Structure 1
Amino acid sequence: MLASNQKTEHEEVIRKANEHINEQSKGAQEEPFRLNYHFMPPVGWMNDPNGLIHFRGEYHLFYQYYPYKSIWGPMHWGHAKSKDLIHWTHLPVALAPSEEYDKGEEGGYGVWSGSAVQADGKLVLFYTGHVDGRAPVEVQCMAESADGVVFKKHPANPVIGKAPDGARFGFRDPKVWKQGDSWYMVVGSGQDGKGQALLYRSATLTEWEYMGVAAESDGTKGDMWECPDLFPLGDKHVLAISPMNMNGAKNWLMVGEMDYETGKFKPEYEARLDEGFDFYAAQTLLDDKGRRIVIAWMDMWGSKLISEERGWYGAMTLPRELVLTPQGTVVSRPIRELEALREAHWISESLLLQDGEIRCWNQPDGNPLEIIAWLSKGDDEKVSVVFNLSSSEDDREKTTVAYSFRDRILTVDRSESGIGDGGVNRIVLPESSSSEVKLHMFLDRSSLEIFVNDGEKVITNRIYPGDDSRTFKVTATGGKAKVTLEGWELGNIWN
């Protein structure tokens, strides 16, 4: 037994991590592409959101975290809390690799992604212990906290010691929830080239019964499903996944029926949750207002590293409320708490743009903006409306957002957005968008999120413009168009 003044290995690893964070965070906060109103780590690398939960009147966000460098490393769980999902307070590291089931000598290891629940007054975390070269490589584990800040790994770990039924491509990212009197856990996996969501059931949280494959790919949706999240929404259930090796998509959403007796989920509608390049590992929570809120990692594996010396890497998307429509689709809307960030009323214009006419405004320092644009076509079916955001005076650097009424195609082009990755998003909007479209755009120092027609579609991208790219332009091509603009400068949540 440890003496009262002795620390466990887990406590010591966390102490060292927190000490490093406190020493290095000031330098990281001075890096020029730090965001104004998105969640970021104080220092180091961040990826997947984990353990989203509303606990004792506050929102808690955990995340995959390597505090020592701005590149991926042995995973810890970072931790923050908020009263409103907008303004965040960083808390000490919650979990760190310290045991034989989550710590290795080299290669990939750590406290990988998972979720959180409240049970018996405690905040309980579930995560994957991953150790390359160990057999098995991945197991499911839990940790508990009475105060929601200091966590102890459970003596029963691993609570699921191996993957079921043969060879698998991955066995990770447990998402736990309660339905009726039972706890359920869905785990991401893959077998025979098909991504799968595996379902478990428990009465105690420490002993789990395998129920089988709740859902799997039809062969076109990836060979491994990371970060599965299965939850009720309206009178349906939704399964959100991050598929690996799926052509054309890194996130996917399915709406359908869940049979808890058979353990089977039957999809009826499927779509991308976000159409952009930088949206991955989405996780949801149910808050005290009954809202289903989703947050995702606002970056992507394989993205160009701007600099390994920048001191930090990774950010979260704005929180979004998911709503089931009467048509059985899901819309994604920015939560209303974001309105509290509005400061100066930056723009309010109603324009009738002639073919080729350009209107131009200077963006404020740091480019923290919220812009709502209502677009209406004139008599010419060929008209398009084009926005150049974070544009240099000579237009050599810009992010282009364009909508063609004839084709109903919305295009976001970041090929000239700065020093980051390029790429073009093209999405076709429904017939209802043939004459009018609403674009709700959130522009931060190094990100752009666009909500189309109150969340029918969403496009999330990281962009890295230079300091002198601070112009906002709009033009009509191919005919006349009516453009109504309203916008605000947004406050910095980290001041």
Structure 2
Amino acid sequence: MKIKSIVLCITLLFTVVSNVPQVATAETLYNEAYRPQFHFTCPANWMNDPNGLVYYEGEYHLMYQYNSSGDWGYDWGNAVSTDLVHWEDLGVGIEYSSSLGKCWSGSAVVDWNNTAGFQSGSEKALVAMFTSETVDPWYKGKQSLAYSNDKGRTWTYYSGNPVIPERDNFRDPKVFWHSGTNRWISVIYPGLLFWSNNLKNWDELSNPGIPSGECPDLFELPIEGSTQKKWVVTYQAGKYKIGNFDGNKFTSDTGELQAPGNFYVGQSWSDIPASDGRRIWIGWLNYAPDGPWRGGAMTLPVVYTLRDIPGVGQRIVANPVTELQSLRNNHYNFQNQTINPGSNLLTSNNINGELLELVAEFQPGTGTEFGFEFRRGGGTTPVKVKYTTSDKKISVSAGTAKSTNPAVTAQVIHSSSNTIKMHIYLDRSILSVFGNDGETWQDMPFKAEAANIGAEVYSVGGSVTLKNLDIWKLNSAWGTPTPEPTPGNIITNTYEAEAGSLGGAARVQNASNASGGKVIGNLNTMGDYVQVSNVNGGTGGNASLVISYSNGYDSARSLSVYVNDTFKQQVSFGTTGGWNTFRDTASISISLNAGTGNTIKIQRDGNDNPAADIDKFTVAAPNNSSTPSPTPPTPSPIPTPSPTPTSSPTPAPSPTPDFDGVTAVSVTTAMTIDGNLNESVWDINTNAGKGVIGAPNNSVTFGTLWDNNNLYVGVKVLDGNLYNDSTNIWEDEGVEIYIDSNHNHGTTYDSSDRQYIKGYNDTSLFEVSNKTTGVQHGWSAIAGGYSIELAIPWSNLGLTPSAGIVIGFDIGCNDDDNSGARDTQLVWKGTVDNFRNTSAFGDLKLN
């Protein structure tokens, strides 16, 4: 039986879990002066530990400890998202029981085989296991169940609760299905393990080997660059151990380790599909906010993996989920900038804001400290991210920083490539910093005046080279976008998908509930698309796009959006529960040209998970009767204590299109793969000039072609010192070709990724997983160096080629200058980690 908890006078008569939406509009509630705009917070009242994290039918469920009147958890709050970024509040999910007590922390799973017998309809039952507590403070705890048959909207207590009797200091169950023993496992504080066949009847395992710590979790993690996995047990304040688990006992290979991050407790999502494969984690950032929400915020959702760090060993690394890229708006890029004390690279280019994402790579020089300052202005102390060369630590600070538990501390970066990488998210009141691809992670809440939005990159005591910097202004996840201001009115137009042009196998299909009675479907194979033309961009500039669609699958699907033939972003289409049920996507920020010459295209690309049916496009564009007003004045930079500050000359950037890669030209010429590159169709003029190891003294250019059988890659290397005398091919002269054929920008290699190495004066071809079937290759001596040529069959990459397909791609060049090991490496777009991480690859588009 289910009732709504608005009938408060009779809730004590039934063992029912309530569902009271905390009604508020995003415009009024989620735009407070210090409200985080993409770190999750509850609408109001107290929030702490994340609970019941489970994925089902395209939705990520995030429940949390909630208290409407006091501090610390009493009920479970309830939120849901299709993309881990935009959250819908569902009110109270599991409510305090007068007979069982408070609903303390726990977890949730999908009972796929109905082992508990709770399923009553076609939907699989979601089952939550949590601690019921009746005696303060934390003396006694018992474990209880609640279940949902409507995708987590309402929850019902199990009539046989508690399923594990009360005992002292006994709480925080984390449940998962262990396939090796074909049974449920629950790890519970303090360091206990239980097993069950049906989630109702539990037996304790002796000698579990689990350390004692609040909110434990137990799962497998992949080791980057390897097919191996290891079991990890995590617990309070980011502590963990690595080892093995056989379904009965955890055996540790390490002592107690400390994960990146300064959250108090966290949890990983259960039931992430195997096709996704990520271990997604979120933590509770414990601090005192300045607003109606209390208890703090959640961290950004991150992906956990294990990395072998030279000189350190295997460690957890954490990187923000790629779904956060959906918030990106205006984009700026700088390369190879010398930053001196007093430099004003960002200020001089009018780059500032309260919501920013930065991806930076530095090469240390004579400077003793370098990094970024944010929220500058008004004579206040800015929010700062800094790296100090003396101790090799990255740290964060602010004049108005909020205290966290545990406290944010400086963290050591271990760099084997003499570069320092920072991935920074600036939220309205939280700064999140990831160092060297997730090796470090720090969250710092702060308070800053709304007018203080200045930003700058800086150096102290000397210079530093900013090898690459990407900056995005970000939209809010709560419906309050922050693009560049466009004054005037808005003009809105709707474009029916069936009126557009179609490509590939896309076709018009009938759908009675669609706006025009028809949709575009069958967007299933790469290159299938629907494009609407004559889109009105008004007076040009920032605009918004909403796509109406249906998705009858039981999980979210994805397709790619192109604006004026330029890739914008991948869009997630959550399940709608049927092919004749329609829903709108979240608003997508786009930029349009003035007038009606714009095009918008939905296409199935290599990294998409097809497919939704497309109903219509709704575009809101600026319609200004006069020219846009000038950009507001930029806050003055804070003076740097240097007698004679000098700033390096910097080009003024313009917003960079999302697709800034290379195009491969379609050819019909018969190609001879001998390394000579003497066919007239070759254009070897794209420069791969980004140094990631050492100080390169060679030059590399490349070109790409394609036909129905192969992808062709040609590379020319000019180098006066050529060696081929090492056992490992990558230690000598040679070219590396990296391919991410499903274009998922993964942080580890999967079956669609390749690393080919063709060496100078070498007849062999290396591929990291020996996937060389059908690949033709050759090299040739040329004046001042050498050239290489590859023909890579599409069948090797698992692709069917067609114009418009985009894949991940990069070029690397190894250089040995002294008959020893490799001295330097150049790449086109990526990093020194290209051999194991595809996230920084560039894009290659078939033309």
Alignment-derived partner of residue 88 in structure 1: 87
- Give the CA deviation at 1:419: 6.4
Relative to structure 1, the CA distance from residue 486 to residue 125 in structure 2 (aligned partners, 3 Å threshold; closer, same or farther) is: same
Alpha carbons of structure 1 residues 387 and 417: separation in structure 2 relative to 1, 3 Å: farther
Shift in CA distance, 488/59, structure 1 to aligned 2, threshold 3 Å: same
Letter in 2 for 1:292: R
Distance 1:455 1:270, change over 3 A: farther
Report Cα offsets for 1:102-157 as digits up to 9, x if no partner: 1xxxxxxx201100011122000011111225997211100011112111100111
Aligned match of 1:33: 34
- Residue aligned with 2:324, SS: helix
Q: Which residue of 1 aligns with 2:107?
A: 115
2:446 alignment partner, one of 452, 459, 463: 463
The alignment status of 1:332 with 2:333, answered yes or no, reads no
- Are 1:156 and 2:142 matched, yes or no? no
Q: What do the CA deviations read for 1:166-202 (whole angstroms, capped 9, x no partner)?
A: xx5x21110000112110000012xxxxxxx210011
Distance in 2 (alpha carbons) for counterparts of 1:493 and 1:402: 27
**C-alpha contact 2:41 2:293 (8 A) present in aligned 1:** no
Distance 2:324 2:293 in 1: 27
Which residue of 349, 352, 368 corresponds with 1:383? Answer: 368
Q: In the alignment, is the contact (CA less than 8 A) between 2:317 and 2:440 conserved in 1?
A: yes
Q: Does the alignment pair 1:225 with 2:228?
A: no
Q: How does 1:331-370 map to 2 (within 5 A)?
A: 331-346=317-332, 348=334, 350-361=336-347, 364-365=352-353, 367-370=354-357
Deviations 1:62-87 (A, max 9, x none): 11112x24x51551111111111111
**Is contact 1:441–1:448 with CA below 8 Å preserved after alignment?**
yes
Counterparts of 1:185 and 1:24, CA distance in 2: 38
Distance 1:267 1:10 in 2: 51
The structural deviation recorded for 1:47 is: 1.1
TM-score normalised according to structure 2 size = 0.49
Letter in 2 for 1:55: Y
Q: How big is the shift at 1:209?
A: 0.5
Alignment of 1:18 onto 2:20: yes
Higher relative strand content: 1
Question: Is this contact kept in 2: 1:58–1:83, CA < 8 A?
Answer: yes
Hey, what's the Cα distance between the residues in 2 that align with 1:311 and 1:73?
13
**1:37 shift after superposition:** 1.5
C-alpha distance in 2, partners of 1:10/1:428? 56
CA contact (8 A) 2:193 2:204 kept: yes
Distance 1:85 1:238, change over 3 A: same
- Asked if 1:240 corresponds to 2:238, the answer is no
SS in 1 for 2:36: coil
Which ranges of structure 1 fall in alignment gaps of 5 or more residues? 103-109, 190-196, 218-223, 243-249
Indicate how the Cα distance of structure 1 residues 100 and 334 shifts in structure 2: closer, same or farther if over 3 A, else same. Answer: same
Superposed CA deviations along residues 215-257 of structure 1, whole A, max 9, x for unmatched, are 355xxxxxx5111000112321011101xxxxxxx32122111
Q: 1:397–1:465: 8 Å Cα contact kept in structure 2?
A: no
Matches within 5 A, 1:27-426: 28-66=29-67, 68-69=68-69, 71-73=70-72, 75-102=74-101, 110-119=102-111, 120=114, 121-132=124-135, 137-148=140-151, 149-163=153-167, 168=168, 170-180=169-179, 181-189=182-190, 197-215=191-209, 217=211, 225-234=213-222, 235-242=229-236, 250-261=237-248, 263-268=249-254, 270-276=256-262, 278-288=263-273, 289-297=276-284, 299-300=285-286, 303=287, 305-307=288-290, 310-326=292-308, 328-346=314-332, 348=334, 350-361=336-347, 364-365=352-353, 367-378=354-365, 380=366, 383-394=368-379, 396-414=380-398, 416-417=399-400, 425-426=409-410
User: In structure 2, do the counterparts of structure 1 residues 418 and 430 end up closer, same or farther at CA, with 3 Å as the change threshold?
Assistant: closer
Distance (Å, rounded) in 2 between the aligned partners of 1:38 and 1:135? 29
Instruction: State the shift of 1:49 in Å.
Output: 0.8
Please report the TM-score for the alignment, with normalisation by the length of structure 1: 0.82
Q: Which runs of 5+ in 2 are unaligned?
A: 115-123, 223-228, 480-847
**Contact 2:43–2:293 (8 Å) recurs in 1:** no
What amino acid does structure 2 have at the position aligned with 1:153?
A: Y
Quote how far apart the aligned CAs of 1:159 are: 0.5
Q: Is the 8 Å Cα contact of residues 185 and 196 (structure 2) preserved in structure 1?
A: yes
C-alpha displacement at 1:452, in angstroms?
Answer: 0.9
Report the AA paired with residue 368 of structure 2.
V
Identity of aligned residues (%): 29
User: Helix, strand or coil for the counterpart of 1:72?
Assistant: coil
Deviation at 1:418, TM superposition (A): 5.1
